[in-house]
């Protein structure tokens, strides 16, 4: 209970203002995948050179974990059943972020021709 000698604060005091929400920056996330790492690295270098030509802000390439799929197959069906062969397929991946891309950069990347065997996923974030 306040003393009578203390002054009361006005009832209409302003509340603390909320911090302004940060402005969302557009980001183009490119995920490049291939079975052969040499072709993948050449494709990533081509993408980065194209983006750098238009003065884009680039983050990457970030190597992602290699996905390994393995299969075990019997060599023989009856007599030598215990002998088996193992096969594996490795998928190498890289991630490239282009921060605040201009329309010229996006157009140049869509017109880019990459070697066969290279898969690209593009997301606008």
Helix (H) or strand (E) holding 90: strand 84-99
Dihedral (CA of 27, 33, 38, 42) sign: negative
Report whether the peptide linkage leading into residue 12 is cis, meaning its omega lies within 30 degrees of zero: no
The answer to whether residue 24 is domain-embedded is: no
Per residue in 18-67, pLDDT tens? 555 566 678 888 899 999 989 999 999 998 888 888 888 888 789 999 99
SS3 102: coil
The answer to whether residue 94 is domain-embedded is: yes
Per residue in 87-114, pLDDT tens? 999 999 999 988 888 888 888 888 888 8
The answer to whether residue 27 is domain-embedded is: no
Total domain count for the chain?
Answer: 1
The CATH number assigned to the domain holding 66 equals 3.30.70.600
User: Which residues span the domain enclosing 86?
Assistant: 32-124
Residue 111 DSSP label? T
């Amino acid at each position: 209970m306040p003393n009578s000698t203390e002054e009361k604060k006005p009832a209409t005091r302003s509340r603390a203002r909320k911090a302004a929400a940060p402005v969302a920056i557009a980001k183009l996330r490119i995920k490049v995948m291939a079975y052969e790492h040499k072709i993948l690295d050449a494709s990533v270098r081509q993408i980065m050179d194209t983006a750098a030509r238009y003065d884009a802000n680039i983050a990457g390439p970030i190597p992602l974990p290699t996905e390994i799929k393995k299969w075990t197959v019997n060599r023989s069906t009856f007599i030598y059943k215990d002998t088996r062969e193992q096969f594996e397929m490795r998928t190498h991946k890289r991630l490239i972020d282009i921060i605040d891309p201009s329309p010229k950069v996006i157009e140049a990347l869509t017109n880019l021709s990459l070697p066969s065997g290279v898969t690209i996923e593009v997301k606008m974030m």
